[in-house]
Structure 1
Amino acid sequence: MAKPLQDRVVLVTGASRRIGIGAAVARRAAADGASVVLHTWSPHDAEQPWGADEDGPRALTGELRAAGARVLHVSADLADPEAPRALVEAARAEFGHLDAAVVNHARSSGQDLEALTAAEVDLSHAVNVRASLLLVQAFAAQHDDARAGGRVVWFTSGQYHGAMPAELPYIATKAALHELTRSLAVHLAPRGITVNCVDPGPNDTGYADEESRAAVAAANPGGRWGTPADAARLVGWLLSDEAAWVTGQTVASDGGWSAR
């Protein structure tokens, strides 16, 4: 039997860390038969408390190829306004077409109101919002509407369920993606391209300390944190033909966190 994403090409941004959601989505897409375009930008992770996964991009590319997937790896700084279009062009040059874009990348700065800077607000918007919109624009411009499986999936956070005062630039940009989802979905629906947004809830990608892990697990109705694989299962379904009639939605994969 054919796999759900057989003969399709899926771009996954923000796949620099093997422990992250982007890597899990790439693994799921490859397992479902897709060729995968891996976007990474390790310098961002190097600035964060969790640090960069120095061998991550090479190792993940090798892992997917060893499993039988065709893979293109592109490292690009999405703060560059030309990078989204270049990323899509690289995908087309390698595979001939691009069927789906999973826009997973995100810049985090950890700024609260007192620490807030204009430079960080601008940079977070450039990476998280501008690059995401330009990427969808470039993806849609090249999409062959005669092909099934046109998909855009991007990610919000939990700011629409509860306060996140220590991450103001980040939540402002995630809120923007959340609110853009319906408008882009309506615009692209006549072309057979769906646009959906995923809220992965508290997700253990290696950034939390033990105290936070215990507190969140205790507060979650499911009794644990989400995992990258949890989010990847939802994304995999949204990419499949089973979700062809689902668009304009923000779907939480959070074990009931938002329902508390």
Structure 2
Amino acid sequence: MSNDLDGRNALVIGGSRGIGRAVVEQLATAGAAVAFSYVSNKDAAAALVDDLRRAGRVATAFQADLGRVSDVRELFARAGDALGPLDIVVANAGVAIVKALVDCTEEDYDEVFAANAKGTFFALQEAARRVRDGGRIVAVSTGGTKMWFTGTSLYLGSKGAVEQFARVLSRELGPREITVNVVSPGFTDTDLLPERDRRVAASLSAFGRVGTPAEVARVVGYLASDAARWVTGQNLAAGGGVF
């Protein structure tokens, strides 16, 4: 995909680590100018910007909390000021609380849904307003919405909402030739996957291992490219055959 995205401007929401970082690297390596957000890990964000700039890529980072709608709107405004009109938006940020449904508190619900559902909803709204005709919008969900693990009701419920937001938005933006899709990663080698679960996770894959952030990012990169101009309203599994 080298130089496939030359001249495109991209915003990745939640891009300082894990899958988000790999997406930033994928889009930048493919030629896009990339802005990305982080919540609190300023050092990781700065290191990623430095790495990309040393490689001759265009990258910039902004602090934003997806749980605050005002932060979401300001992020889009700052990204637009830095890069110009956006062509690609990837909504990747999110939080998880693992707890049995019966034990979840109202505070737990508000924390998870504020970031994963409400925050992503308004990020998609800003993307719909700002992405140029013919652009690409990708939301990151999880293969867990098809697997129903115990203790994940809040996380999976919020991500299920994201999948429906994207599906409807794909219809609404179709007349502008903007594609809207979802990528659902499976078990991936990030700090969100506990060490105790990795052996079982690997055994569920057709490949006998967990995925890498770069492998998921390549699927996002495909959806951001011209090769996927006829793909919209879809939820692409990037899980090594687990689901």
State whether TM-score is above 0.5.
yes
Which residue of structure 1 lines up, in the alignment, with residue 230 of structure 2? 245
Quick one: percent identity of the two aligned structures?
Answer: 37
Task: Select the residue among 102, 110, 115 that pairs with 2:90.
Answer: 102
Does residue 1:230 correspond to 2:179, yes or no?
no
Give me the whole-angstrom Cα distance separating, in 1, the residues matched to 2:191 and 2:224.
Answer: 26
Question: In terms of mean alpha carbon deviation, does 158-167 or 61-70 score higher?
Answer: 158-167
Which residue of structure 2 lines up, in the alignment, with residue 40 of structure 1? 38
The answer (yes or no) to whether the contact 2:72–2:119 under 8 Å persists in 1 is yes
Give me the whole-angstrom Cα distance separating, in 1, the residues matched to 2:76 and 2:207.
Answer: 38
Give the TM-score normalised by the residue count of structure 1: 0.89
Give me the whole-angstrom Cα distance separating, in 2, the residues matched to 1:242 and 1:251.
Answer: 15
Please show how residues 80-119 of structure 1 align to structure 2 within 5 Å. Answer: 80-119=68-107
Between Structure 1 and Structure 2, how many residues are aligned? 243
The answer (yes or no) to whether the contact 1:159–1:175 under 8 Å persists in 2 is no
The answer (yes or no) to whether the contact 2:91–2:140 under 8 Å persists in 1 is yes
Does residue 1:10 correspond to 2:24, yes or no?
no
Which residue of structure 2 lines up, in the alignment, with residue 190 of structure 1? 175
The answer (yes or no) to whether the contact 1:6–1:33 under 8 Å persists in 2 is yes
Which residue of structure 2 lines up, in the alignment, with residue 221 of structure 1? 206
Cα RMSD for the two superposed structures: 1.6
The one-letter amino acid of 2:75's match is L
Write the deviation string for residues 15-35 of structure 1: whole angstroms up to 9, x where unpaired: 232xx0000000000000000
1:137 aligns to what SS in structure 2? helix
Deviation at 1:54, TM superposition (A): 6.2
Deviation at 1:142, TM superposition (A): 2.3
Give the TM-score normalised by the residue count of structure 2: 0.95
Deviation at 1:226, TM superposition (A): 1.0
The answer (yes or no) to whether the contact 1:37–1:91 under 8 Å persists in 2 is yes
Which structure carries more strand by proportion?
Answer: 2
Which residue of structure 2 lines up, in the alignment, with residue 45 of structure 1? none
Deviation at 1:180, TM superposition (A): 2.2
Task: Select the residue among 23, 28, 31 that pairs with 1:30.
Answer: 28
Deviation at 1:111, TM superposition (A): 2.2
Give me the whole-angstrom Cα distance separating, in 2, the residues matched to 1:243 and 1:78.
Answer: 27
The answer (yes or no) to whether the contact 2:185–2:216 under 8 Å persists in 1 is yes
Give me the whole-angstrom Cα distance separating, in 2, the residues matched to 1:245 and 1:135.
Answer: 23
Please show how residues 171-186 of structure 1 align to structure 2 within 5 Å. Answer: 171-186=156-171
Give me the whole-angstrom Cα distance separating, in 2, the residues matched to 1:114 and 1:161.
Answer: 21
Question: Which runs of 5 or more structure 1 residues have no equivalent in the other structure?
Answer: 43-52
Give me the whole-angstrom Cα distance separating, in 2, the residues matched to 1:2 and 1:124.
Answer: 36
Write the deviation string for residues 108-152 of structure 1: whole angstroms up to 9, x where unpaired: 11222232011121221111111112112112212332xx4x111
